[in-house]
């Protein structure tokens, strides 16, 4: 009986404790930079699309919510013709970000994407592309990759030596 | 015959008591949620209107618009009547409750007996609801409710007899008047504690909410109820809480008596204090097992009530004349 009164008193003292509730729409919670929220496609420092349409994100996606079509521009640079993420399926697992070889696809600290119409949750490339570099400033895939594209021949990438001509290999 | 005194004023009082009782009961939905939140370090509903007060309105609208579904296997007539009984019996008790010297609907000379009788009638609602639902959980809830309410009613009545002995009347107004010099909670402290516990059990509130124990019986006797029929059980429960709180303040804490403030304010303040205590009980205590509940009632509470009655009777006899 006394222990019951003790527990009632203990509960009553909670009147003066600070509240733990974050009053959400008025008071935004802190989201860590690595929060797995809305997915974006970033650009490299030159303002070009980073995505090389390698399909690795679509393959890694456990719910198959990413659809894209690869194509090439006149410089031989691969990019997605369309890039579509169906956010009504996406589970924000971040596997696409892990799979991406060019830091193009990234998850951001934003979760406020509710819609009244289900169809509006299908984001096209122009909805996904942002104007910045996201979490990786300064990284440019084509600048470090040993792939030849228009305007950059083999051996012209950063920290790359010109290729050896095997036919003129003399001691 | 004076029409004003004999017809108009009684009607105003009846309507006033009805409206105030129902408003308080509905408002308690919000009060309880806010207070529970306070004791769980949260805020509770605070977004609809000022302080979330319009939450009551939103809840009522929601309940009214919900589908009112009667299961095909239910005993339709009884199923519909059951939630009405709980409202009617509790509201009838308000008729004899004196809020102040003037504000009382029916000044019965056996007011206290009438209240006890009505609270016994309330058992029918729960048992019939459980039976008519034709659902095992509802039936188990109804069975538990009947056993619990019958056994706690016994010492509920007995615990009040001390008050009746001291006041020398069953009339609630006389009982309040008899407390002009000393609240009955002091000479009848045991009776007060017993009545408080029995009152919690009568209104089927936590920690005695075994008839609707969510963790075991879905929702107990009102598992199959939806819409406003469920709402009537809901409001009936809060009406019961208000009634028991008002009774405690009338029987043990001098009802409307108090200095400075007007009588009605004192009555409402005391009642509200005990309503808050009811909610604190819910916030702080776990639910006992059913056999613990029954053995507590019969083996501890009933003997205590009898001893209390005997001692009070002896003291009144020796000091009385």
State whether A14 and B38 contact (CB < 8 Å).
yes
Are A75 and A47 contacting, i.e. CB atoms less than 8 angstroms apart?
A: no
Half-sphere exposure (CA, 13 Å, Cβ side) for A30?
1
**pLDDT at A91 (0 to 100):** 93
| A20 interaction partners in chain B (CB closer than 8 Å) | 41-42
A interface test, pick of B33, B36, B37, B40 with most A CB neighbours within 10 Å = B40
ipTM of the complex: 0.73
Name the nearest CA neighbour of B126 among B24, B209, B62, B65. B209
State whether B38 and A12 contact (CB < 8 Å).
no
| A15 interaction partners in chain B (CB closer than 8 Å) | 38-39
**pLDDT at A93 (0 to 100):** 93
Q: Which of A10, A15, A20 lies at the smallest CB-CB distance from B38?
A: A15
**pLDDT at A153 (0 to 100):** 83
Q: CB of A10 within 8 Å of any CB in chain B?
A: yes
B277 Cα to chain A: minimum distance (Å) = 10
Q: Which of A15, A18, A20 lies at the smallest CB-CB distance from B39?
A: A15
Calculate Rg over the CA atoms of chain A: 25
Written as six digits, the tokens of A152 are 């950059």
For residue B239, how many other CB atoms are within 10 A of its CB? Answer: 25
Residue B4: phi and psi, rounded to 5, are -60, -50
How far from chain centre, in Å, is Cα B52? 25
Half-sphere exposure (CA, 13 Å, Cβ side) for B201?
27
| A23 interaction partners in chain B (CB closer than 8 Å) | 43
**pLDDT at B1 (0 to 100):** 64
**pLDDT at A26 (0 to 100):** 86
Are B285 and A8 contacting, i.e. CB atoms less than 8 angstroms apart?
A: yes
Pairing of strands A66-72, A105-107: unpaired
For residues A166 and B12, give the distance between their C-alpha atoms in angstroms, rounded to a whole number: 109
**pLDDT at B321 (0 to 100):** 53
CA distance readout (Å), B209 to A130, B18, B228: 56, 26, 21
pLDDT in tens, A72-130: 988 888 999 999 999 999 999 999 999 999 999 999 999 999 999 999 999 999 999 99
pTM across the whole model: 0.77
pLDDT in tens, B44-59: 888 887 888 888 888 8
Q: CB of A5 within 8 Å of any CB in chain B?
A: no
State whether B280 and A7 contact (CB < 8 Å).
no
State whether A7 and B43 contact (CB < 8 Å).
no
For residues B75 and A54, give the distance between their C-alpha atoms in angstroms, rounded to a whole number: 66
Q: CB of B65 within 8 Å of any CB in chain A?
A: no
Residue B221 DSSP SS3: helix
The arithmetic mean of pLDDT across residues A139-161, rounded, is 84
For residues B47 and B26, give the distance between their C-alpha atoms in angstroms, rounded to a whole number: 18
CA-nearest residue to A25 within chain B is B47
For residues A6 and B277, give the distance between their C-alpha atoms in angstroms, rounded to a whole number: 14
Name the nearest CA neighbour of B242 among B203, B287, B275, B206. B275
**pLDDT at B229 (0 to 100):** 86
For residues B212 and B137, give the distance between their C-alpha atoms in angstroms, rounded to a whole number: 9
pLDDT in tens, A126-147: 999 999 898 989 898 888 888 8
Interface of A with B in 17-76 (CB under 8 A): 17-21, 23
Question: Which regions of chain B are under pLDDT 50?
Answer: none
- DSSP letter string over A117-133? SGGGGEE-HHHHB-SS-
**pLDDT at A68 (0 to 100):** 93
For residues B79 and B133, give the distance between their C-alpha atoms in angstroms, rounded to a whole number: 7
B interface test, pick of A4, A6, A11, A17 with most B CB neighbours within 10 Å = A11
**pLDDT at A81 (0 to 100):** 93
Q: Which of A12, A17, A19 lies at the smallest CB-CB distance from B280?
A: A12
Domain boundaries, chain A: 31-142
Category of A153 on φ-ψ map: left (φ > 0), alpha (ψ -120 to 50) or beta:
beta
**pLDDT at A55 (0 to 100):** 93
| Residue B155, C-beta contacts closer than 8 angstroms, at least 6 positions apart | B194, B198, B297, B301, B302, B304, B305
For residues B314 and B174, give the distance between their C-alpha atoms in angstroms, rounded to a whole number: 22
pLDDT in tens, A41-66: 999 898 889 999 999 999 999 999 99
Q: Which of B39, B42, B43 lies at the smallest CB-CB distance from A11?
A: B39
CATH 3.30.70.3270 fits A31-142, yes or no: yes
Q: Which of A12, A17, A23 lies at the smallest CB-CB distance from B43?
A: A23
Q: Which of B43, B283, B284 lies at the smallest CB-CB distance from A19?
A: B43
State whether B284 and A12 contact (CB < 8 Å).
yes
**pLDDT at B293 (0 to 100):** 85
A110 Cα to chain B: minimum distance (Å) = 24
Are A68 and A80 contacting, i.e. CB atoms less than 8 angstroms apart?
A: yes
Q: CB of B38 within 8 Å of any CB in chain A?
A: yes
């Amino acid at each position: 009986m006394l222990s019951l009164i003790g527990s009632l008193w203990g509960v009553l003292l909670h009147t003066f404790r600070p509240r733990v509730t974050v009053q959400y729409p008025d008071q935004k919670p802190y989201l860590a930079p690595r929060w797995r929220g809305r997915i974006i496609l970033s650009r490299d420092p030159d303002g070009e699309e980073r995505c090389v349409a390698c399909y690795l994100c679509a393959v890694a996606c456990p719910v198959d919510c990413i659809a894209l079509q690869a194509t090439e521009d006149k410089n031989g640079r691969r990019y997605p013709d369309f890039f579509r993420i169906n956010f009504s399926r996406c589970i924000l697992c971040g596997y696409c970000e892990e799979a991406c070889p060019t830091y193009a696809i990234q998850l951001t600290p934003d979760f406020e994407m509710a819609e009244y119409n289900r169809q509006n949750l299908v984001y096209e490339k122009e909805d996904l592309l942002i104007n910045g570099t996201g979490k990786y400033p300064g990284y440019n895939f084509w600048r470090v990759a040993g792939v030849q594209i228009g305007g950059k021949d083999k051996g012209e990438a950063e920290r790359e030596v010109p290729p050896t001509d095997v036919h003129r290999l003399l001691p | 015959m004076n029409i004003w005194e004999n017809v108009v004023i009684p009607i105003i009082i009846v309507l006033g008591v009805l409206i105030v009782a129902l408003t308080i009961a509905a408002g308690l939905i919000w009060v309880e949620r806010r207070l529970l939140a306070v004791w769980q370090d949260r805020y509770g509903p605070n977004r609809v209107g000022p302080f979330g007060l319009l939450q009551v309105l939103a809840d009522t609208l929601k309940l009214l618009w919900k589908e009112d579904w009667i299961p095909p296997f239910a005993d339709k007539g009884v199923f519909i009547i059951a939630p009405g009984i709980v409202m009617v019996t509790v509201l009838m008790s308000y008729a004899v409750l004196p809020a102040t010297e003037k504000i009382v609907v029916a000044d019965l000379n056996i007011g206290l007996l009438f209240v006890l009788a009505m609270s016994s009638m309330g058992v029918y609602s729960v048992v019939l609801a459980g039976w008519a639902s034709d659902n095992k959980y509802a039936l188990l809830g109804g069975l538990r409710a009947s056993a619990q309410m019958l056994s706690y009613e016994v010492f509920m009545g007995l615990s009040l007899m001390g008050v009746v002995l001291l006041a020398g009347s069953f009339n609630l107004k006389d009982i309040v008047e008899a407390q002009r010099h000393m609240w009955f909670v002091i000479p009848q402290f045991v009776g007060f504690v017993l009545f408080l516990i029995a009152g919690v059990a009568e209104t089927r509130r936590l920690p005695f909410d075994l008839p609707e124990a969510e963790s075991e019986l879905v929702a107990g006797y009102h598992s199959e109820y939806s819409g406003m029929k469920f709402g009537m059980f809901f409001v009936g429960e809060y009406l019961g809480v208000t009634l028991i709180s008002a009774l405690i303040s009338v029987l043990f804490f001098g009802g409307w008596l108090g200095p400075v403030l007007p009588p009605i304010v004192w009555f409402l303040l005391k009642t509200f204090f005990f309503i808050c205590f009811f909610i604190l009980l819910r916030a702080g205590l776990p639910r006992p097992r059913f056999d613990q509940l029954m053995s507590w009632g019969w083996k501890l509470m009933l003997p205590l009530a009898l001893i209390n009655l005997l001692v009070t009777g002896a003291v009144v006899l020796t000091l009385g004349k």
